[in-house]
Amino acid sequence: MKVRKAVITAAGWGIRFLPITKSQRKEMLPLVDKPLIQYSVEEAVACGVELVIIVTAQGKGAIEDHFDRSFELEHFLERKGENKLAEEIRRLSNMVDICYVHPKERLGLGHAVLAAKRVVGEEPFVLLLPDDLFEGQEAVLRQMLEIYQRYQGNIIAVKRVSKEEINRYGIIEPRKVAEHVYQVINLVEKPQPEQAPSDLAIMGRYVLMPEIFEALESTLPGKNQEIQLTDALAQVLQKQAIYAYEFEGERYDAGTPLGWLEATIVLALGHPDIGPKLREYLGGLLQRITYPEEALPLGVISREGRKWLK
C-alpha cells in the first residue's frame, strides 16, 4: 500500500531554547533562509506524500501562517518586480495539502502522534520529527519507504551513538537481515549504557502501520511521565515486525542550541549564494582566533565543516 500521509510533530514547549521559545515557536526558528519545519514538509513532499498532518499546539499560529496563502505579500512583491520571490512565497501554500491537529494536552511524542489518528485513518504513514535533519535530506526517508515496500512493515531510522549518548535515545536490539537493515527484537527507551541492548539509537524518521494508534491508546506514561512512542512500538512488536534502517551520513539535532548552530553552519556552507562568502569568512576567522580544538566556538568547523574551507 502506498504511503500517502505524513505526520510532523510540532507541539512541544521548546524548553531547551528558552527564553526565545516563550514567544517564538522552536519549529519556526530559521535555518539559513527557511524555518526548521519547512525542511520536514519539503522532505515529505519529495518522497511523494500527498497530505501533511502537523500536530501543533496553542500559540503556534505562525506555523499555519507560514504555509498559508498571502495574497497581499505576493501582490506587493510583484509590484516591486520581485517575481521570483513572489513565486517562492506562492509555492509554500501550493506544494502539498496540509492540515493541523491541536491536542488538548502536551504529554509527549506518543500522545502527539495519537492526536493524528482520525486524520491518518487505517493507512500506513510517515512520521517526521522536525528537530532531526539529515545530510542526505530526503535520501534517508526515500530508502526507508523502499524498505517498507519490501517488507510491508514498520520501519525506523537508526544510527550508532557513543556510550555517553545512549541514555538520550530509544535503543533497539537488532538482528541483521540485509545490508544496513535489521529486524528489531526489542526496544528500550533511554536506557543506561550498561542496560542497553546495542548502540543503535532511534532517530526521527519512521514509517508506521496504523496499528501504532491502538498501542498508543493503551500505553501508560513512562519516562518523564510522558507517553513514549518507543513504549508503544514495543507493544506493536508483539504482533507485527519492526525493521530498522541504519542510515549513513550525518544527522543534526536542531532541537538543541548547539545542534541548531551546527545545522545552520553546514546548510549555509552548502548554499549557492551564501556558502562561498561564509567559507571565506570562516577561513579567516580560524586564522585570526586560536582556540584549543575542543574549545572552538564553532565546534562544527572542527569536524564536518573543515572540508568546506579547503
Q: Is 130 left (phi over 0), alpha (psi -120 to 50) or beta?
A: alpha
Which residue, among 101, 21, 28, 105, has the nearest Cα to 65 in the 3D structure? 28
Q: How do residues 293-302 score in pLDDT, each as one tens digit?
A: 554 444 444 4
| Lookup result for grid cell 505579500 | 73
Q: How do residues 63-90 score in pLDDT, each as one tens digit?
A: 989 999 889 998 999 999 999 999 999 9
CATH superfamily of the domain spanning 5-251: Spore Coat Polysaccharide Biosynthesis Protein SpsA; Chain A (3.90.550.10)
Q: For the chain, percent helix, then strand, then coil, each to nearest 5?
A: 45, 20, 35
CB atoms within 10 A of CB 157: 23
Rounded to 10 degrees, the C-alpha dihedral 32/34/37/43 comes to -100
Residues 6+ apart with CB under 8 A from 32: 264, 267, 268, 271, 274
Pairing state between β 251-253 and 132-134: antiparallel
Query: Cis (ω within 30 of 0) for the bond into 276?
Result: no
Distances (CA, A) of 41 to 8, 133, 200, 268: 8, 12, 26, 19
Per-domain residue ranges of the chain: 5-251, 270-309
* pLDDT tier, 20 (very low <50, low <70, confident <90, very high otherwise): confident
What residues are paired with 132 via a beta bridge?
A: 253
Q: How do residues 85-127 score in pLDDT, each as one tens digit?
A: 999 999 988 999 999 999 888 888 999 999 999 999 999 999 9
| Lookup result for grid cell 511521565 | 225
Q: Within 13 Å of residue 138, how many CA atoms lie on the same side as its CB? A: 16
Please tell me the predicted confidence (pLDDT) of residue 293: 53
